[in-house]
Chains A and B, each alone.
Chain A
């Protein structure tokens, strides 16, 4: 049986980025600039994604505005009928560039923040002056007339500013906020002891989000997911493996999610060598955890198996070394108690950041 077509594609145009956030979602092994796909290769991948049934494209990275051909790619996506979104740190894009992107058909901007203050924000991003540049960029986004989502990445070192961060998002005119608890794969896993929130912070976070939803009802949509390590049931990661999303890496590898390369032993097809539709339908890496046939117990007989689709494979692998096991975020998993004790131990720790950089990657 053919799988349903994907809804959205995440195009990771590059791993280059001026920021060095210690929870970066890029793999530890960063792709070099000379391995990145060309403009023509990306344009072809974009057309194939639209033909396959994708409705939306998210241009991401690294920092996608590092690529001088971003306007061309937005034009291509718009012509193919895709809804276009730019996921950016906002520190490299000036007004002229943003106007060109809007003219090319860009429809939405998602801007990340590391904190509500320059002091902590710049320290977390490892980039002096970054916070001020982000605020200036947010103003440009409103001036140019594009809708804005603020992506607030939260963890132990900035959760005491959560209310201020949400207020900042409203202040800069965002219509939508994502409160993104750090997901512990790759770089974030290496930095878990520096980032893991405490149980008290989690409880306070839930209350603050609920209060903010009331305070900003009708003006600001707030998306929030409980962090995995303190959850009772796993998240529906990517809406199910190989069900809704596909990710293309800078060098053209086609992945079921941006962290999938953290699972060793999976082989990923490349859109440079194989048509995207064929990869979506037949590639081993997509088929291996698609649907429910791969599931072990207690997932297999669980009445939530088509709600959470077994949670997150990368997390199962990161914690147990076996990607086929039940997601330890689930309270029914044999590994759940270990996950919680890891969280509690790390939350009480005091580790320094390992900043994301190609040089740090070599040392790991």
Chain B
């Protein structure tokens, strides 16, 4: 039986086993290839997922994104990134 993963600031997000972050050259978009589906992801989702290496914790990932997207307040970025990753965790795309 699986357990639902709830993300915390100190968890170490990564792509789940057998999920692949892949650029699609034919369409020039980023995708996550998942069992029997592929998710097209936008640049922001790609920027987030590219940082999910299982080494950096969620809080550090958000700090890194704040440095890149300096015009958005940290609490907004934190909320959006956590919601995005929780959604992807619920779909089995992200593990921690």
Interface residues of A (CB under 8 A from B): 4-5, 7, 53, 55-56, 58, 81, 83, 85, 107-108, 110, 145-147, 149, 170-171, 173, 175-176, 178, 217-221
Contacts and interface: CB of A to CB of B under 8 A. Distances in A.
B38 A55 contact: yes
A170 B1 contact: yes
A175 B2 CA distance: 8
A233 B96 CA distance: 40
B90 A218 contact: yes
Contacts of A175: 2, 35, 92
10 contacts: A4-B27, A83-B22, A83-B38, A85-B35, A110-B35, A146-B18, A147-B18, A171-B1, A220-B2, A221-B92
Q: Sort A-B residue pairs by CB-CB distance and give the 6 closest, nearest first.
A: A218-B4, A53-B26, A219-B2, A108-B35, A83-B33, A218-B90
Given A176-B92, A219-B3, A221-B91, A55 B33 contact: yes
Interface of B: 1-5, 16-18, 20, 22, 24, 26-27, 31, 33, 35-36, 38, 89-92
A147 B4 contact: no
Contact of A85 (B1, B2, B4, B36): B36
Contacts of A53: 24, 26-27
A176 B36 contact: yes
A280 B22 CA distance: 23
A107 B20 CA distance: 10
A149 B31 contact: no
Contact of B35 (A5, A55, A147): A147
Contacts of A149: 35-36
A106 to B, nearest CB: 9
Nearest to A81: B22
